[in-house]
């Protein structure tokens, strides 16, 4: 190691283990919260009901309408409920959409957040928030939105269908990939990212083959935890920017968009990120980073293209325009036309190739 490094770690109480949902009441009390608002997506109502029973009297109310990319109108509705119910904090149960609404309430109403993730999005470990008004998604970083406590119970992930599990796992892998070529990477973030890739690549095929395999589910969730931490410690690049544009403006499903794009953006950045590419290839056990990611994606049965996800060919131009608007970290400076080429390849399903 030749260079020194510095980084900050935010304090967060992490409880990890199958069955940990049973400890939620203790975790909420530990976080110093009295009455809490529970937020979830319509699809996770059953899990939220189990949590409500476990928490008992401390539940001030339940909001079960969370939606992808945190629509501003939902935040406004939720803030009215906060005004009415006066909770001390929020418990978000679900994937990135539920946690995203919890973060919006932390940002706008100052409510501390406890997260119980049920996907591999990694959002529970970060201070990154996003709110979508109209067709534009605004994102930012703010220490107030980072969950104070996180309860990881792999039992809650068993119900994720194989396709969502695979796509969500690729979302976690994308955090690790971009963390490795981030300008602010350091030995600790790199360690987390390499190990996250290794664990996710080894466990996701088992999860897809046997969704009820509790051991595989625990390993994948642990990989997602490491990925979330790596994401939190570094700045994301072109890949995350494109996913926000395609999700926020064109309504594409978040995790699946990550899964489709990742091998293409990795190949696009290859010439400017030699060390990261070698690390990714080694962690994946692939010949190159992008062929390894492409092979994993195929092994997981994710063979869709941006076209299959519902993007219209006429939107490729606007997506490229939006992706180069605004500054973000990327190892390789890319032109609008190069981004358009990446999108075109992912749209048609051509094999990923370095620029």
Cα end-to-end span (Å), the chain: 30
Residues constituting the chain:
355
Question: Scanning the structure block, which residue is given the tokens 């409920």?
Answer: 81
Secondary structure of residue 198 in the 3-state scheme: helix
Q: Which residue is nearest to ligand NAD (CB)?
A: 96
Q: Which residues pair with 151 in a beta bridge?
A: 15
Over the window 23 to 62, marking each residue x when it contacts ligand NAD by CB under 6 A and - when it does not, the resulting string is ------------------x-xx------------------
Paired with 16 in beta bridges are 152
Nearest distance in Å: CB 338, ligand NAD: 24
Q: With beta carbons less than 8 A apart as the criterion, state whether 230 and 308 touch.
A: no
CB of 92 to ligand NAD, least distance (A): 10
Q: Kindly tell me which of 117 and 292 has the beta carbon lying closer to ligand NAD.
A: 117
DSSP helix/strand/coil, 69: coil
Of residues 101, 116, 119, the one with CA closest to residue 175:
119
Site map 158..197 versus ligand NAD, x via CB under 6 A: -xx---x---x--x--------------------------
* Shortest spacing between CB 2 and ligand NAD, in angstroms: 31
Contact 168, 256 (CB under 8 A): no
CB distance 62 to 48 below 8 Å: yes
> Measured from the CB of residue 67, what is the shortest distance to ligand NAD in angstroms?
7
Min CB(97)–ligand NAD separation in Å = 3
Query: x/- site string to ligand NAD, residues 277 to 316, per CB under 6 A?
Result: ----------------------------------------
Nearer to ligand NAD, 102 or 292 (CB): 102
Tell me the three-class secondary structure of 311-322, residue by residue.
CCHHHHHHHHHH
Question: What does the alpha-carbon distance between residue 205 and residue 207 come to, in Å, rounded to a whole number?
Answer: 5
Answer yes or no: are the C-beta atoms of 10 and 36 closer than 8 Å.
no
Question: With contacts defined by CB under 6 A, how many residues of the chain interact with ligand NAD?
Answer: 29
Cβ-based nearer residue to ligand NAD, 158 or 295: 158
Q: Looking at 100, 237, 263, 352, which residue binds ligand NAD (CB under 6 A)?
A: 100
- Region of 339 please: left (phi>0), alpha (psi -120 to 50) or beta: alpha
Residues within the interface to ligand NAD (CB under 6 A):
41, 43-44, 68-69, 94-98, 100, 118-119, 121-123, 126, 128, 130, 156-157, 159-160, 164, 168, 171, 231, 254-255
């Amino acid at each position: 190691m030749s260079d020194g490094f510095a980084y900050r770690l935010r304090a967060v109480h992490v409880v990890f283990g199958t069955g940990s949902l049973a400890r939620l009441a203790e975790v909420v009390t530990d976080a110093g919260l009295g009455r809490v608002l529970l937020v979830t997506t319509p699809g996770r109502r059953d899990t939220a009901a189990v949590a409500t029973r476990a928490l008992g009297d401390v539940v001030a109310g339940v909001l079960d309408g969370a939606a992808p990319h945190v629509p501003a109108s939902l935040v406004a509705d939720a803030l009215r409920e906060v005004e009415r119910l006066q909770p001390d904090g929020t418990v978000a149960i679900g994937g990135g959409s539920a946690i995203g609404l919890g973060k919006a309430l932390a940002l706008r109403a100052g409510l501390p957040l406890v997260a119980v993730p049920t996907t591999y999005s990694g959002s529970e470990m970060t201070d990154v928030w996003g709110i979508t008004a109209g067709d534009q998604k605004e994102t930012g970083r703010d220490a107030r939105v980072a969950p104070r406590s996180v309860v990881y119970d792999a039992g809650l992930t068993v119900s994720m269908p194989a396709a969502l599990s695979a796509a969500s796992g690729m979302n976690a892998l994308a955090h690790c990939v971009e963390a490795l070529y981030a300008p602010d990477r350091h030995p600790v973030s790199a360690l987390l990212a390499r190990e996250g890739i290794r664990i996710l690549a080894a466990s996701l095929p088992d999860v897809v083959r046997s969704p009820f395999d509790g051991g595989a589910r625990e390993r994948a969730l642990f990989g997602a935890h490491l990925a979330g931490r790596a994401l939190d410690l570094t700045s994301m690049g072109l890949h995350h920017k494109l996913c926000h544009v395609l999700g926020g403006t064109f309504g594409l499903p978040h995790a699946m968009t990550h899964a489709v794009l990742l091998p293409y953006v990795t190949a696009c950045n290859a010439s400017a990120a030699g060390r990261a590419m070698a690390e990714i290839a080694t962690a994946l056990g692939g010949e190159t980073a992008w062929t390894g990611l492409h092979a994993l994606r195929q092994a997981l049965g994710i063979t869709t293209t941006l076209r299959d996800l519902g993007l219209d060919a006429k939107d490729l131009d606007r997506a490229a325009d939006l992706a180069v608007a605004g500054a973000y970290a990327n190892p390789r400076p890319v032109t609008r036309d190069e981004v358009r080429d990446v999108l075109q390849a992912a749209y048609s399903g051509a094999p990923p190739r370095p620029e």
